[in-house]
Every structure is written in structure tokens, then in C-alpha cells.
Structure 1
Amino acid sequence: MMREFEIERQFNIKIETIKPSKGIYYVKSNKGERCLKKINYGPQKLLFVYGAKEHLIKNGFKNVDRYFLNIDGEPYAMVNEDLYTLSEWIEGRECDFHNLDEVKVAARTLAELHEASKGYDPPENSKLKSDLGRWTHLMNKRIKSLDKMRDMVRKKNNKSNFDLLYIKSMEFYKELGRKALETLEGSKYEELCVLAEKEKSFCHHDYTYHNIVIDKDNNYHIIDFDYCKREIRTFDISNFMIKVLKRVEWNPEFADTILESYNEVSPLLDCEYKVLYAFLQFPQRYWRLANRYYYNEVNWGQNAFGNKIETIIAEQDNMLKFLDYFKNKYNID
């Protein structure tokens, strides 16, 4: 547990109640309700995130979990070499990705976020976070790592259920990854990176249901900008689309609604659809799950891993049908 009096001293508050809640702390203080969070990266990256939120607010995108500053004007408290942030506690419920109307508003909100992100110059002493221009390299590396993980399985004497499912399914996803890389290499990805660099825009990078909080007045608040970085916007859009589509059996109506709503605010260029398609094709969820399993990144139980890989494999037909639909509808060559 962190030393509470240090939090109180540095943020100049009095804590009345403190309760852990999904990886954060709910704090009731003499100055109102707050969200206290331990940060697992350094102060320079945090300053990039802080600056990004302040930039959005300045550009009229105000519904974010804004940081409070400490007594020295910094957006964090340093306690025993651990960093903590304090932000507004946003009361509300998570966005329902099964509800087409809520998905529609979430898509429009994402477009507004991207528009408001333009022109961001990070604070001088911050560390620039950027994935611009990296995706051909990342896809290539991840495709190769699928082979490496298969070799690890082959050396195991006692193979788990996950191992057997991985061996059986891995070639399918590797091929899908190769096709995604081909799509990306045949697109205007590099030009779009140059454009994003010029626009000085950024992405949320974790735009999903639990980071979209709907309050009692039906206002949509976007929280948890920990992963935000310079990135082309089609990454955020594809990530959001996949998070929705996997919940609705890859129903194309949801994909079309997301793009229509997004385009109402910030129209996509024709060349962006091919890059979007490459991100939709790439088996990111499959790679990430296997990576977590074989490199012990999270300690879920064997059953949890087994269930997750089964769920991904069970979606294959619906996903392929959707990819065909998307390719034809948006004339991707």
C-alpha cells in the first residue's frame, strides 16, 4: 500500500475514504471524489500523456479524466519511487458494445478526439511516444514470433490444451498475418504516417468499452490515456472495430455504422481504407494471447488461456466472411 500521507501532502488533499477498484483507487477527499492510479512508466512518458489530455481540453474535447497537479505543478506524486496520478472520478457506466446506438456515439466521439488531437506539441521535458512508420516492422516481427512460439511448443514434453490448439491453428493465423503485411506494404501507409507527423495528431491506443464512460446525462467521457501516442488514426479505428465486432459475431452492420459515424465528423481518405483493412486482417489478438501465454506476461490460469484461444478460433468463419465483405464494399484491391 502506498503511504497515504505522502499522497495527501503532495496533492494537498485530505483522504476520507480510499478503496481499491479494478486496478485503481477510489478516493473520497475533502476536495471531492478522485481516482488515484499507480503508473508503471516514467515521469517523462507521463508528461506526454498529461500534455495530450490538456491539448484535447484546450481544443474543446473536455470529457477526459483530467489530472490534478501536485504542489509543485507536476501531474503526479512520487512515493517510494512509485508514480501516482490523481484525476477526476467519473461516475457512470461502461459503453455497451452490443448496443448499436452507443457504438455509433462512441465512433463519433473517437473522430472528435482525433480532430482535437491535431497540432499537439508535447511538453519539452516529456518523452515522445510514437508508433508512426513502425507497423510493417511490427507485423513482420510478430509473424516470425508465431514460428518461434511453435518451436517452443514442439520442445515441450507435456503439452497443454493451449499448446495443442496453438499447434493446430497457428498456420492459419500466420497466413492471415502474411496477407495483412502484404496489404499494408501495398497501401499508402508511409504517406499516411508522414501526414500524421505533419498534423501532429495522436491516438488513444486503447479505445474500448471500459475506457468509454457514459454518465447519467448521457455524456461520453474517455478515460485512461496511458497508451496514447503518435499513430495513424486507422489504428485506433481498427482496434475499436475489432473490440466491437468480436462481441457481435463480426456483424458488418456494426462496422458500417462505425465508419459512417466517424466519417460524419472526420471523413477518411480513400487510401485509408486499405490500411484499415490491413489492421483488421492482422491476427493481433491471437498473437497477443500466445505471446502472453508463452512469455508468462500475465498469470491467468490454464483454463482462462484455453477458453480464450478457443473463442478466437471459433470466430474464424465469421471473421473471414466479414473480411471478404469489407474488401468488396470498400473496393480494396
Structure 2
Amino acid sequence: MMREFEIERQFNVKIEVLKANKGVYYLKTNKGERCLKKINYGPQKLLFVYGAKEHLINNGFKGVDKYFLNIDGEPYALVNEDLYTLSEWIDGRECDFHNIEEVKLAARTLARLHEASKGYDPPENSKLKSDLGRWTHLMNKRIKSFDKMRDMVRKKNNKNNFDLLYLKSMEFYKEIGKKALKTLEESEYMKLCEIAENEKSFCHHDFTYHNIILDGNNDCNVIDFDYCKREVRTFDISNFMIKVLKRVDWDINFAKAIIESYNDVSPFLDSEYKVLYAYLQFPQRYWRLANRYYYNEVNWGQNTFGNKIESIINEQESMLKFLEEFKNVYNLE
């Protein structure tokens, strides 16, 4: 095939085995095992991601899926206008978010990643990605979009199960969203953005179980940096926490374990707890699901959407209880 031939030529390897594997390709080559991935963004953004990984490696954080360069010294192959990256294949298993010891290990790894990210100057011709300072605006916009989506539903003649569940639940999530925005506005968020800007640090932005790979030595590797950007680290921590918490019925002990383990490596500033709380409060998963549904961002079946919104709604009580406990444990007003 033309594509394989071009990959071989541009990366100067010989492909012996090629297998599709969860959105990427596993390759066995004459130079070892590799991961081939087609990417859906441009070379400038890719150079930011490539530079970020190299920066981590140079700062002693070695457990990443390092990119290989092509014969011209670029971290990609261009085949019929499509970009492909070739990276190290990291053998191991995904982190188990039900296992508190593995969750602690992942939290310490995230702290090490954030520490190693400091001082990153992206390559000249790359596109700087940053969400610093944007979260009050983003939350505001998303709170308003709850009403827009409700109006879309009201205009529909045939309302399905998802529509009815959305109409019934959206006020609850809009109110929680407003509380989260208020928490963020009353926090030292902008000051923390300034610190992150000066530190030149970045976040992974998708730190979840399938991107945390435990190898044979039980070392923690982090893969898939496609979404990494300049961001306050509490965003990464909250994102990771929510991914864990929704699997363990919002058990406060998992949240405490994550914060303690992270603190062992890189202690929180007092002002970070409130920002973290604002992110934990904000109904990001609910907003994202509705947004995907009403703006046709994902072509899942009706049932999948219905089941997902139902399971989020079923967590309401546990989530509210958790938020109250979190506020008390960390003395937040």
C-alpha cells in the first residue's frame, strides 16, 4: 500500500507487522515496536506537542511515548496531505482507577510531569496552545449554552428520551455551573494563571486511565499528549479526579489520596484548593454530553446518549455529598 511504503521511506524503517489497535496502529519494524498514529491537526500544533514531550524527557521525565523523526528531522510523515506520527510503543496495561494504590501512583506521576513541564519554550515555528485565563469565560459561555440547548429541544416536535431527560435535569446543572463560576471568580485563579505563565509549565489535558500505562516494572508511563497546552495544573488534577471519582461513586477517600500523593511530590499552594473545587463543581461531563448530542459532534446511537445522561443524573446525590465533604475537609468557604 502507498501509505505503508511512504511511512517506511520517510521514517527509514521496514514494517514487518501492522495491526490496528484502539485508534492507532501497532507496528513491528526492523528497528523495534512502534506506534503509528494519524493525527487530525496541523504540523504547527504537532511541533508544540513534540517539543513538550522532548522537554519532559530532557527534564528527567522519561516515561512518555517519544516521537521518532523522519529523514528530514521532522516528527511526522506527510502522506497524501495526512500527517502521521511514529512513536515508541509502550508495552503494559492501563491504570486501574478502582485500585487506590494505582490511583496514588498516577497522582505522583502527574505531579512529576507538571514539575518537569516547567520552563518550556515551544519551538519557533510551533503554535502555542494555552487556556490560561480562559476558564471564567468558558464557564460563563457553557452556562448560557444550557438555555440555548433547552430552546432547541422545546422546538422539537418529537422529543426522545434524551430530550426529556435533558429538560428535566438541565436547571440543576445550570445552577451548579453558576456556583462553580462564582467559586472560580472568588478564587485566586488569575494569580495562579500568572504563576503558570511565568513558570512556562503545561498540562497533559487528557490524563485518564487509557493514557496512563503501567509497564512490567510497574512504572507509570504517560501517552497521548495531543491535547497538551499551557494551563493551571489544578485543571489536570480535577480532570483526573473526576475520571476516578465517577468510577468509585464519588468516594472522598480517593480524592484525598490523590491530593496527598500529589502533594508528596509537588505541594499545593493554599489558593489552589478553591480553584480545584470550582473545577470539581462545574458539570463539565453533563455539558459536554449535551453539547455533543445537540451539535452532532459524535455519531453515537440514541441508546448510548440516553444511557450516558441517565448515569450522570444518577450520580447527582453522591456528587453533591462529595462536594460538601470536600468543602469541609479543605476548609473552603
- Map of 1:1-333 to 2, 5 A cutoff? 3-333=3-333
Amino acid across the alignment from 1:61: F
Cα root mean square deviation, aligned:
0.7
Letter of the 2:125 counterpart = N
Cα drift, residue 249 of structure 1: 0.2
* Paired residue type of 1:66: K
* Structure 1 residue 216 displacement after superposition: 1.2
Secondary structure class of the residue paired with 2:292? helix
- TM-score computed with the length of structure 1 as normaliser: 0.99
User: 1:254-289: CA deviations, max 9, x gaps?
Assistant: 000000000000000000000000000000000000
Say which is worse superposed, 227-236 or 17-26, in terms of deviation.
Answer: 17-26
Alpha-carbon shift at residue 331 of structure 1 (Å) = 1.1
Q: Structure 2: how far apart are the matches of 1:329 and 1:185?
A: 21
Letter in 2 for 1:298: V
Q: Distance in 1 between matches of 2:219 and 2:329?
A: 32
Number of positions where the alignment pairs a residue of Structure 1 with one of Structure 2: 333
How far apart are 1:20 and its partner, in Å? Answer: 0.8
1:271-323 deviation per Cα after TM superposition (whole angstroms, max 9, x unaligned):
00000000000000000000000011111100000000000000000000000
Runs of 4+ in 1 over 2 A off after TM superposition: none
Q: 1: distance between equivalents of 2:2 and 2:12?
A: 16
Amino acid at match of 2:317: D
Q: Once the 2 structures are TM-superposed, how far is the Cα of residue 228 of structure 1 from its aligned partner? A: 0.2
TM-fit CA distance, 1:2? 6.5
SS in 2 for 1:149: helix
Tell me the amino acid that sits aligned with residue 194 of structure 1. Answer: E
Secondary structure of 1:3 counterpart: helix
- Distance in 2 (CA, whole Å) between partners of 1:161 and 1:45 is 39
Deviations 1:80-102, CA, capped at 9 Å, x for gaps: 11100000111110000000000
User: Structure 2 vs 1, CA of residues 107 and 2 (structure 1 numbering), >3 Å: closer, same or farther?
Assistant: farther
> How far did residue 244 of structure 1 move?
0.2
C-alpha distance in structure 1 between counterparts of 2:3 and 2:117, whole Å: 35
Q: Runs of 5+ in structure 1 lacking a partner?
A: none
AA in 2 matched with 1:139: M
Cα distance, 1:69 vs. partner?
0.2
Gaps of 5+ in 2: none
The alpha-carbon deviation at position 324 of structure 1 amounts to: 0.3
Q: How far apart, in 1, do the equivalents of 2:142 and 2:135 lie?
A: 10
Kindly state the Cα deviation for residue 328 of structure 1 after the two structures are TM-superposed.
Answer: 1.0
Q: For 2:288 and 2:6, how far apart are their aligned partners in 1?
A: 37
Query: 1-side partners of 2:24 and 2:279: how far apart?
Result: 31
- Residue identity matched to 2:142: R
Deviations along 1:66-90, one digit per CA (max 9) or x if unpaired, are 0000000000000111100000111
